[in-house]
Structure 1
Amino acid sequence: MLSQVGRAAHDIGLAGLLGANLFGRLAMHPSVTEIFDEAECGKLVNAA
């Protein structure tokens, strides 16, 4: 039973890590490169 819980926690953590990396690469980075004002860019990154 404990190994199943550990496996589930591991899988959820791995999915979160991969999802965050995909979001950063595919959604966040292209949006940030379009902003030329550094203050606005910082606000966007901090809000996400």
Structure 2
Amino acid sequence: MLWTLIGLLILFWILGLIFEIGGAVVHVLLVIALLVFIWNMITGRNKP
């Protein structure tokens, strides 16, 4: 579930950069994806 969320956030971030949607706010998606990734690594959840 978390990997899907990370993937979607990164996808939306890339689309925002390509189509220049949202200005600097689109970088918040990348930060959120990184935070979710770090949280997943810290908690050690290995479930698919």
TM-score (norm 1): 0.43
User: Of the two, which has the highest radius of gyration?
Assistant: 1
Task: Give the helix-richer structure, 1 or 2.
Answer: 1
- Greater RCO, 1 or 2 (C-alpha within 8 Å, sep 6+): 2
TM-score (norm 2): 0.43
